[in-house]
C-alpha cells in the first residue's frame, strides 16, 4: 500500500536523509513568524514530488520487539473492514500479491484530508466541551486537563533564545517530584489541578552548562498568560535531533484507510530531512490490534534507515479487532520502552479510530503521563468512526503533551463518513502537509500555518489556531 517515489528520486532522498539527519505556542516576534513562514513554504514546495504515481513495493522485512533482538516475519498486506461500533463486520480481504500491489499503486500521497485543533490555544471552548463530556460519562473516571489555568515555565538563555530540554522539577501536594523537560520553544507546561500543585509553587531548572536555578511563585498572582520566564547564563539552543514514533491501529476497521495512511506517512518520512537541514532523524513503529488477535503489538525499534522503515511500514495489513475498543494501553506501554533520546524532539503519531477498553482507560492514561514526563508529544490522528470516548481521550493526551488533535475529514472521499469534531473552527488541508506542519512546529518551536493555496475549506472563525467564534461545540448525547 505504500506509495513509493520513483527509484532515482527515492535514492536521492534517502541519501540526503542519511547524509544529514532531520514547537508550539504562537509567536508574535517577526523572527518567529519568518521562520514559520519559511518552513510552510518549504513544505508547500515539496508537494510537487508527492503526486508521482508509485511503482510496485519492495519485499517484506521483519519486525523487532523493543525489548528483544529477535525478529518475526509479518504477514503479507491485506485490507479489510470499516469501523462499525460494537458489531461484527464482513471483511473483504485482499490476500493475493497482485491484489496487494494493485491496492498500493492506487493509494497515492496527498489523498487524505484533515483538520486539526489546539486545545491549549482555545481553553474556554475546551473546558465547555470537557466538562459536558465528563458529566455525561461520569463512570469513565477520566481526568480533566484544565487548559484555562496552565503554569507555563519558559526557559531562555542569556541571548533570549529558548533552551530546549532543560529539566524543570517541582513537588506536588503529596510530596512527589514531578519533572518535565522543556520543549523546543523552551517551555514546560504544568496543570495545577491535574498535577496537584500547591498554591505556592517551588521549582528548579537545570540545563547542561548552567548552574541550577530555584524559584518560588504564588500561583494566584500569575498574569493572564500564565507564564514564568527563567533566564539561564548560557546561550539558548534548539533541537538538533528528532525521534518520531508511528503508533498505528491495524485492526480490520482501519482497512479502508490504512493503505492511504501508509502512502501519506511514506511521503512525510521522506520530507522530514527538509524541515530543518542537518537534523538527526530516527523513526520507529508500533502497530497494535487487540487481545485474542493474531498479535497484540509489534514494534520496530528507532532507526536512521528510513528506507528500511518505509518497507516495514508498507508491510502492515488491517485485520482483527471485532469489538470497538482496542489495545491502546499495550501500544502506549510499548512506546514507553523505546529508547527516546533526551536531547531530541520526541513525537508519537497515534493513528487510530478507537479508544482503549473501559477497564484499561486509566492504564492508557498513565502511560500517556509517563510519555509526557519524557517529553514526548502525542499527536493523535483520528480516523473514520472515532466516537466520543476516543475523541475525548485523544484530545486530552494532545493537550497534556503540548500537542494538537488531528482528525480526518470527508473532503477526500476515502473511507466511511468521518465524525465531525466537537470544535468551533478549523481549516482543512491535505493530511500529509498537516502532519508535516505539526511536526515542524514541534521541532522548531514556532507554530507553522499552511500557505493560502493549501487550504481546502474553512469552518468557523479560524485565526492561526484560535477560534474567534463563540459557537458552542457539538456535544454528542
Query: What separation in angstroms does the CA of 388 have from each of 165, 355, 385, 459?
Result: 34, 9, 10, 20
Q: Are residues 226 and 353 in the same domain?
A: no
Q: Are residues 454 and 394 in the same domain?
A: yes
Q: Are residues 409 and 455 in the same domain?
A: yes
Domain presence at residue 139: no
pLDDT at residue number 426: 97
- Backbone phi and psi for residue 171, each to the nearest 5 degrees, phi listed first: -115, 130
pLDDT at residue number 21: 37
Indicate the pLDDT class of residue 443, thresholds 50, 70 and 90. Answer: very high
Q: Percent of the chain, pLDDT > 90?
A: 56
Nearest to 411 by CA among 380, 454, 457: 457
CA dist., res. 447 & res. 441, Å (int): 5
Beta strands in 96-212 (DSSP E): 113-117, 151-156, 167-171, 177-181, 187-190, 200-206
Residue after which a domain boundary falls, among 231, 265, 282: 231
pTM of the model: 0.81
**Contact (CB, 8 A) for 436 and 268:** yes
pLDDT tens profile 61-85: 334 444 443 333 333 222 233 333 3
Q: Are residues 323 and 405 in the same domain?
A: yes
Q: Are residues 179 and 297 in the same domain?
A: no
Domain presence at residue 2: no
Say whether 338 sits in a helix, a strand or coil. Answer: coil
Q: Which three cell numbers stand for residue 384?
A: 473514520
Domain presence at residue 436: yes
pLDDT at residue number 37: 58
pLDDT at residue number 94: 36
pLDDT tens profile 253-264: 787 777 887 777
Indicate the pLDDT class of residue 36, thresholds 50, 70 and 90. Answer: low
pLDDT at residue number 463: 96
Domain presence at residue 56: yes
pLDDT at residue number 414: 73
252: alpha, beta or left? (left if phi > 0; alpha if psi -120 to 50)? alpha
Say whether 115 sits in a helix, a strand or coil. Answer: strand
Domain presence at residue 164: yes
Q: Are residues 156 and 102 in the same domain?
A: no
Indicate the pLDDT class of residue 202, thresholds 50, 70 and 90. Answer: very high
CA dist., res. 17 & res. 21, Å (int): 6
Overall average pLDDT of the 57-62 stretch: 34
Q: Are residues 175 and 275 in the same domain?
A: no
Q: How many domains does the chain have?
A: 2
pLDDT at residue number 72: 34
Q: Is the pLDDT of residue 138 over 90?
A: no
Q: Are residues 170 and 243 in the same domain?
A: no
pLDDT at residue number 109: 64
Q: Is the pLDDT of residue 16 over 60?
A: no
Q: Are residues 170 and 114 in the same domain?
A: no
pLDDT tens profile 169-190: 999 999 999 999 999 999 999 9
CA dist., res. 171 & res. 178, Å (int): 6
Domain that holds residue 312: 7-120+239-467
Q: Are residues 160 and 108 in the same domain?
A: no
Domain presence at residue 171: yes
CATH classification of the domain holding 113: 3.40.50.410
Q: Is the pLDDT of residue 96 over 50?
A: no
Indicate the pLDDT class of residue 41, thresholds 50, 70 and 90. Answer: low
pLDDT tens profile 83-94: 333 333 333 333
pLDDT tens profile 263-284: 777 778 777 777 777 899 999 9
Indicate the pLDDT class of residue 60, thresholds 50, 70 and 90. Answer: very low
Q: Is the pLDDT of residue 448 over 90?
A: yes
The chain-wide mean pLDDT, for the chain, equals: 80
Lowest-confidence segment of 51-60, 269-278, 460-469 by average pLDDT:
51-60
Overall average pLDDT of the 373-391 stretch: 92
173 against 101, higher pLDDT: 173
CA dist., res. 227 & res. 128, Å (int): 23
Q: Are residues 109 and 250 in the same domain?
A: yes
CA dist., res. 180 & res. 234, Å (int): 20
Domain presence at residue 144: no
Taking each helix axis from N to C end, the angle separating 123-136 and 388-400, rounded to the nearest 10 degrees, works out to 140
Q: Are residues 74 and 220 in the same domain?
A: no
Q: Is the pLDDT of residue 381 over 80?
A: yes
CB count in 10 Å sphere of residue 24: 25
pLDDT at residue number 77: 26
pLDDT at residue number 385: 74
Q: Percent of the chain, pLDDT > 70?
A: 74
pLDDT at residue number 5: 34
Overall average pLDDT of the 10-21 stretch: 34
pLDDT at residue number 416: 67
Amino acid at each position: 500500500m505504500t506509495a513509493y517515489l520513483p527509484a532515482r528520486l527515492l535514492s536521492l532522498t534517502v541519501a540526503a536523509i542519511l547524509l544529514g539527519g532531520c514547537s508550539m505556542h504562537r509567536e508574535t516576534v517577526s523572527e518567529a513568524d519568518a521562520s514559520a513562514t519559511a518552513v510552510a513554504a518549504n513544505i508547500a514546495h515539496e508537494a510537487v514530488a508527492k503526486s508521482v504515481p508509485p511503482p510496485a513495493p519492495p519485499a517484506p522485512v521483519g519486525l523487532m520487539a523493543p525489548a528483544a533482538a529477535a525478529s518475526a516475519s509479518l504477514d503479507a498486506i491485506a485490507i479489510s473492514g470499516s469501523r462499525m461500533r460494537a458489531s461484527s463486520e464482513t471483511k473483504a480481504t485482499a490476500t493475493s500479491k497482485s491484489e496487494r500491489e494493485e491496492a498500493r499503486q492506487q493509494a497515492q500521497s496527498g489523498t487524505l484530508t484533515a483538520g486539526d485543533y489546539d486545545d491549549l490555544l482555545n481553553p474556554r471552548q475546551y473546558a465547555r466541551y470537557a466538562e459536558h463530556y465528563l458529566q455525561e460519562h461520569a463512570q469513565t473516571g477520566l481526568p480533566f486537563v484544565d487548559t484555562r489555568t496552565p503554569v507555563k515555565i519558559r526557559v531562555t538563555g542569556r541571548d533570549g533564545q529558548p533552551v530546549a530540554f532543560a529539566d524543570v522539577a517541582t513537588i506536588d501536594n503529596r510530596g512527589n517530584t514531578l519533572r518535565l523537560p522543556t520543549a523546543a520553544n523552551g517551555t514546560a507546561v504544568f496543570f495545577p489541578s491535574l498535577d496537584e500543585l500547591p498554591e505556592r509553587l517551588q521549582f528548579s531548572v537545570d540545563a547542561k552548562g548552567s548552574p541550577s536555578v530555584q524559584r518560588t511563585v504564588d500561583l494566584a498572582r500569575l498574569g493572564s498568560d500564565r507564564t514564568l520566564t527563567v533566564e539561564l547564563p548560557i546561550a539558548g539552543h534548539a533541537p538538533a535531533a528528532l525521534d518520531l514514533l508511528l503508533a498505528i491501529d491495524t485492526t480490520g476497521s482501519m482497512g479502508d484507510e490504512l493503505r492511504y495512511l501508509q502512502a501519506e506517512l511514506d511521503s512525510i518520512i521522506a520530507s522530514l530531512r527538509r524541515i530543518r537541514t542537518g537534523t538527526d532523524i530516527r523513526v520507529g513503529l508500533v502497530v497494535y490490534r487487540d487481545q485474542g488477535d493474531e498479535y497484540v503489538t509489534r514494534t520496530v525499534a528507532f532507526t536512521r534507515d528510513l528506507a528500511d522503515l518505509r518497507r516495514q511500514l508498507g508491510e502492515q495489513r488491517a485485520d482483527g479487532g471485532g469489538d470497538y475498543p482496542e489495545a491502546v494501553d499495550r501500544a502506549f506501554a510499548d512506546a514507553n520502552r523505546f529508547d527516546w533520546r533526551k536531547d531530541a524532539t520526541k513525537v508519537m503519531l497515534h493513528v487510530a479510530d478507537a479508544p482503549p477498553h473501559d477497564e484499561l482507560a486509566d492504564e492508557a492514561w498513565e502511560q500517556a503521563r509517563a510519555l509526557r514526563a519524557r517529553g514526548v508529544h502525542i499527536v493523535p490522528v483520528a480516523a473514520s468512526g472515532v466516537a466520543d470516548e476516543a475523541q475525548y481521550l485523544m484530545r486530552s493526551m494532545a493537550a497534556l503533551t503540548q500537542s494538537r488533535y488531528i482528525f480526518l475529514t470527508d473532503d477526500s472521499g476515502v473511507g466511511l463518513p468521518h465524525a465531525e469534531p466537537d470544535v468551533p473552527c478549523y481549516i482543512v488541508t491535505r493530511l500529509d502537509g498537516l502532519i508535516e506542519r505539526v511536526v515542524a512546529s514541534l521541532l522548531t518551536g514556532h507554530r507553522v500555518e499552511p500557505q493560502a493555496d493549501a487550504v481546502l475549506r474553512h469552518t468557523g472563525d479560524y485565526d492561526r489556531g484560535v477560534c474567534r467564534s463563540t459557537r458552542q461545540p457539538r456535544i454528542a448525547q
